[in-house]
Chain A
Amino acid sequence: MSQLKEKAWRNDAYAKVTGSAKYADDIKALNMLHAVPVYSDFVHARIRKIDTQKAETMPGVVKVITHTDVPGKICFGQIEKDYHMLADDKIRYNGDVISIVVAETREQAIEATRFVGIDADPLPLILDTEEALKPGSPLVHEDRGNNIVNEHRVRTGNVEDGFNHSDHILEYDFETPYIEHSYIEPESAVCIPRTDGVIEVYGSMQHPFSTRRFTAAILGEPLANVEVITIPTGGGFGGKDDTAALVCARAALAARLTGRPVKMTYNREWSVRESYKRHPYRVHYKMGITNEGKIQSVKCRIVADGGAYCSVTPWVTWRSTVQCCGPYVVPNVHCDTIGVYTNNVFTGAMRGFGSPQMNFIVEQLVEMAAEKIGMDPIEFRRKNMVTQDCTTITGQKLSEHKVSMEQVLDTVIQDIDYHNKYKKCNHGNGEELYGIGLAMSYRGMSLGAEGKDFCAAIINMQFDGSILLEVGIHENGQGSESAMIKICAEELGVPIDRIRYRRNSTHNIPDSGTTVASRGTIMGGGAVVIAANYLKEKVAEALLEKGSSEKIEYRDDKVIVGSRAYSWLEVVQAMYQKQMFPYAFGVFQAPKVSWDEHTGQGNAYFTWVYGCQAVELKVNRSTGKVTLLNAVAAHDIGKAVNRAMLEGQFFGGMAMGMGYGLFENFVQEVGKIKTLNFDKYRIARSTDVPEMKAIIIENRDPLSPSGAKGIGEPTNELMAPAIANAIYNATGLRFLKNPIILKPGLEVEE
């Protein structure tokens, strides 16, 4: 049951609950055409010819587009420009699009796709990361000379010394799976060529600015020719960046080439086939511990399958590298991380961004280590976890915010009565096996040293005192617009119903980066606070005598100076008398971070968040069925902005983590995805998840202007290891690979 006392609020709730919210596929334009993608059967092949002649004669077909029609760049990407937006020289994975059919109706376009031909020579397949790394392996991108996307490292102390001073060594190989984001709305875009030369893009995506870059690149036109306008997005979870941007770019290309509005809506199978996934990892992990319960040394090698294209693999794997020891201080660390090109489906951003994989490993290993020396696993964690003013494995001193690792751990332990319930675990004895397990993490906030991190907000007060607010982050469904409105209302002391969130446009607000990395609230909220402060400076200039330092209060919809309470209407009028606009532009620049790729050291993130989740479950021995009974999470989010939405992030992240732990079994055979729809790919249904409890912990972050941090990803990175630990406590069986699928009789394969 929700802990909520107040009624929830979000600005788009009415539209969404009545079905009147317009998503991309709900938009119609006059004279609109329909575009659909064409794929080939190949996984890796050299293209000789793409034959569109027959398809072009099919009823209703207006144009069949291939790479030869692209006026701009074929290759693009956020980091490496290696993504062929339309296949030209090669097929690099089974989701490569060879052609786009544009027709009067969607049915006509789909029908004509059958008549697009491809003549290509199959090439040797590169499907295994270790094979791909061997000298002489065939190459996904010949011009690169090898199949390495990127490498990262951490070097701290001397690991061999550390192992020599250890009493026990744990050494294991772990494997984690692909995850399909499974936003319920598949990708869709409507692009409308305007008479002023601009193409308007309405798309289901989570990065309008990246979408604009992809679109401008394929068109060969300046950024100013492409206006991406925000509409409701039916979920993203990190997954509506590259692929969603490409759908928009291709629809825009079709619109440019035909001079007519074009809609391109993906069905589920196309979406799953083409879109990027969470990276599957193979990790060799060696940990040395002492009899006193201190982790002395960690050596690990992380190999991520990046698939056919780079996407954001270097950034995802960087987070895994920085957080390779979980929330523990380890004096000697040697971590090597490699992102690898293969002909598998490509991989990129997904909620967690490199942390769910590492947490699945580390949070099991600490329990295995504790068991080895006969120590309570919580006690073992306490001996090694990050604490106030400690120095992390990358040399960062955690002194500028409250390190609340112990607080979140204690909160969960107490709330779920962990210690008593731990005693009741069956450890493999019995038919109905009960287990409880937990996991905890710390997580670097926002982009960190991955990229330039800054965000803009505009508060544009109108002549009647009503407010237009626009922030450079994107509403993916999480409620970012509502959170921004709430922060703005609180800063200015005005009621929320006086604030309208201005529909974002890339033509109006500067590129503030992508709404990923749980950075929406911390970065966007920071920008709103700074814009509000700037507006207040102007108000002071309008209301106070020159040189006056009298304090102004903003509350109860009034601006109060001494004994005088001005209405906002009066304030705006005063500003107009002085020829001042009540308009404020605020920019929040993330505090400085640093990273040295060579030494693998640096102040990786400007602040961190702390979380802990526990789960209770039972396992039926004869069927192998796992039933989740209860789950509790505590996360320190700095400051709660919109409680109901915050709780929603907890529950949604936990449910998604349950799928990662237990049943999201993504199947790809010889480079072809077999789980193309929800009948084969099982995400959590209501009956798969238990009652959940969200505990919000608020230690305001001094480096966040609003005090708030982020929550989207922390909630999604802990449930799988908590489940793995609970299954161990129930059955006595350890699983080094997820999802954990138990066999009837709990038989274990060797």
Chain B
Amino acid sequence: MKITVNGVVHPLKEEYLNLTLIDYLREVLDLTGTKNGCGIGVCGACTVLVDMKVVRACKKQVKDFIDANVLTIEGMASPDGTLHPLQQSFIDAGAIQCGFCTPGMVLTAHAFLSANPNPTRAEIRKAINGNLCRCTGYQQIIDAIEAYASSVKN
């Protein structure tokens, strides 16, 4: 049994199977970029991507992801540390404050844009509505996603 996280294959021990995915990522793999905000799958801070689909890591168990391909926030930048342009866009637009929602927000936007590369602002607003942010009022997050999408288009 194995799981692939950010391109790295990890053998899965029996004892990991009943862990929540977030506990496995944070406690076993030390990938602490995935955050726990509510523990009930409502706030979106624990968002990871499995085959480019949004998954709430606090609600799911590892046994549902045997052989799966998981992308966490740590896998967004290049191995040399160069940011994914979507991440850079978050920085440039001022979309980051406390940063606790940021990993989930970036991944949600990444999945959304891969399915819908030319979104309207209204579509972006709708796409991130499962991710709570208490700091920003979402305005600059939407700016960031919009700016990145239009830069790809041009």
Contact = CB atoms under 8 A, between A and B. Distances in A.
A687 B135 contact: no
Give the most central of B103, B125, B135: most A CB within 10 Å.
Answer: B135
Contacts of B32: 19, 22-23, 25-26
Given A17-B87, A184-B37, A684-B138, 9 more contacts: A2-B94, A8-B94, A10-B96, A20-B74, A184-B101, A234-B35, A686-B129, A686-B131, A691-B121
Main secondary structure of the interface of B (DSSP, over half): loop
18 contacts: A2-B93, A10-B96, A14-B91, A17-B91, A18-B73, A18-B81, A19-B74, A19-B102, A21-B99, A186-B36, A236-B98, A478-B98, A478-B135, A479-B97, A651-B138, A684-B137, A686-B125, A686-B133
Contact of B100 (A23, A679, A687): A23
A648 B96 CA distance: 9
Nearest to A692: B139
Contacts of A652: 97, 134-137
Interface in B36-73: 36-40, 42-43, 45, 72-73
Nearest to A185: B100
Contact of A17 (B31, B100, B106): B106
A99 interface: no
A30 interface: no
B137 A689 contact: yes
B43 A647 contact: no
B76 interface: yes
A245 B72 CA distance: 31
Nearest to A232: B99
Contact of B129 (A477, A653, A655, A687): A687
B142 interface: yes
B93 A644 contact: yes
A233 interface: yes
A666 interface: no
Interface string B128-154: 111111111111111100000000000
Nearest to A28: B30
B79 to A, nearest CB: 12
B119 interface: no
A268 B33 contact: no
Contacts of A28: 30
A748 interface: no
A13 B91 contact: yes
Interface string A623-653: 0000000000000000000001101101111
Contacts of A14: 83, 91
A656 B87 contact: no
Given A2-B143, A648-B136, A268 B94 contact: no
B134 A184 contact: yes
A182 interface: yes
A678 B100 contact: no
B73 to A, nearest CB: 3
B70 to A, nearest CB: 13
B38 A677 contact: yes
B126 interface: yes
B38 A268 contact: yes
Interface string A654-667: 11100000000000
B35 to A, nearest CB: 7
Interface of B: 26, 30-40, 42-43, 45, 72-74, 76-77, 81, 83, 87, 90-103, 106, 121, 125-126, 128-143
Contacts of A22: 32
Interface in A1-51: 1-2, 4, 7-10, 12-23, 25-26, 28
A235 B134 contact: yes
A476 interface: yes
A234 B99 contact: yes
Main secondary structure of the interface of A (DSSP, over half): loop
A653 B90 CA distance: 19
A542 B130 CA distance: 59
A321 B87 CA distance: 45
Give the most central of A15, A478, A647: most B CB within 10 Å.
Answer: A647
A651 B139 contact: yes
Given A16-B99, A651-B136, A686-B138, A185 B129 contact: no
A651 B26 CA distance: 31
Contacts of A9: 91
Contact of A648 (B38, B45, B94, B128): B94
A659 B125 CA distance: 17
A18 B96 CA distance: 11
A22 B30 CA distance: 11
B74 A18 contact: yes
A181 B40 CA distance: 18
B42 A677 contact: yes
Given A677-B42, A685-B129, A19 B73 contact: yes
A71 to B, nearest CB: 32
Interface in A232-247: 232-237
A8 B139 contact: no
Nearest to A643: B94
Given A235-B98, A477-B97, A679 B40 contact: yes
Contacts of B94: 2, 4, 8, 10, 644-645, 647-648
B91 A651 contact: no
Contacts of A685: 129-130, 132
B134 A183 contact: yes
Contacts of B142: 686
B131 to A, nearest CB: 8
B98 to A, nearest CB: 3
B135 A235 contact: yes
A683 interface: yes
Contacts of B40: 268, 677-679
A484 B126 CA distance: 35
A18 B77 contact: yes
A25 B128 CA distance: 25
B35 A185 contact: yes
A1 B129 contact: no
A28 B81 CA distance: 23
